[in-house]
């Protein structure tokens, strides 16, 4: 089995090289590739990517900033692995936890695995962020008859053929509920594992906000009631 580690990145000059190096150093006991999709960074991230050693990662540059969803969709199209895990470029998620996401797949227990920020050790969020995340997970559970604790987690692992078949269209942060909704509509059970989480806040560079909750909820409803 080969794993694609997809790193969508936008303006993360301070952390992108560290993330790539840490993913590269992890021994997963299987072949892996690192795919980086830069979503129109303007802060020097592209200069860091241009200086990567040959063979460390496959880098794709979006011509303009279109959003995390667009970067993820590009990465899916370029992936050469059998499975794909999404690794954010800001180190909120610890690359060591990729092992945790892989374990149920390697044991034949699951196809799709999510890392839950609410069942593992974590830096506490602001209250409104916590409420928003829990509300969206509750809405997902009600609409799709499941029991997810963390639908909005950035740590998701899928078979590449499944992802490629979903017909994903989101350009922005609505990619998270869209992937979840379309997988659940296929009847695929999602397996959750606890992960560590060190969330940033706005002053530290966090890009998603509570306002993104409204389009996320609409995406869940739209996917549930359309074919």
Instruction: Give 14-36 pLDDT, tens digit per residue.
Output: 999 999 999 999 999 999 999 99
What is the number of structural domains in the chain? 1
What is the extent of the structural domain holding 187?
2-225
Long-range contacts of 218-226 (CB under 8 A, 24+ apart): 219/170, 219/174, 219/177, 219/178, 219/181, 220/136, 220/139, 220/140, 220/143, 220/177, 220/180, 220/181, 221/143, 223/177, 223/178, 223/181, 223/182, 223/185, 224/143, 224/144, 224/181, 224/185
> 0.95 exceeded by the pTM?
no
Q: Is the pLDDT of residue 227 over 90?
A: no
| C-beta separation of 2 from 18 below 8 A | no
CATH of the domain at 207: 3.90.550.10
Element (DSSP H or E) covering residue 59: strand 58-61
Confidence at 13, pLDDT banded by 50, 70, 90 = very high
| C-beta separation of 194 from 114 below 8 A | no
Q: From residue 19, give the alpha-carbon distance in Å to each of 13, 96, 146, 194, 219.
A: 11, 11, 32, 20, 30
Q: Is the pLDDT of residue 39 over 70?
A: yes
CA angle 213, 162, 37 (to 5 degrees): 65
pLDDT tens sequence across 80-138: 999 999 999 998 999 999 999 999 999 999 999 999 988 765 555 555 566 777 899 99
């Amino acid at each position: 089995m080969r794993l694609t580690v997809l790193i969508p990145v936008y303006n993360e000059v301070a952390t992108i090289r560290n993330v790539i190096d840490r993913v590269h150093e992890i021994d997963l006991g299987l072949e892996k590739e690192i795919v980086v999709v830069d979503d129109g960074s303007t802060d020097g991230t592209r200069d860091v990517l241009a200086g990567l050693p040959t063979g460390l990662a496959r880098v794709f540059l979006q011509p303009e900033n279109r959003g995390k969803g667009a970067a993820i969709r590009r990465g899916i199209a370029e992936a050469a692995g059998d499975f794909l895990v999404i690794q954010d470029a800001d180190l909120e998620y610890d690359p060591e936890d990729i092992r945790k996401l892989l374990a149920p797949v390697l044991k034949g227990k699951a196809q799709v695995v999510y890392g839950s920020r609410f069942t593992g050790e974590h830096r506490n969020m602001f209250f409104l962020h916590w409420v928003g995340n829990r509300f969206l997970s509750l809405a997902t559970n009600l609409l799709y008859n499941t029991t997810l604790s963390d639908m909005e987690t950035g740590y998701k692992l899928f078979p590449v053929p499944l992802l490629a078949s979903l017909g994903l269209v989101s350009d922005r942060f609505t990619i998270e509920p869209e992937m979840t909704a379309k997988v659940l509509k296929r009847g695929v059970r999602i397996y959750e594992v606890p992960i560590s989480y060190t969330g940033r806040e706005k002053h530290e560079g966090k890009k998603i906000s509570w306002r993104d909750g409204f389009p996320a909820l609409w995406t869940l409803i739209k996917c549930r009631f359309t074919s």
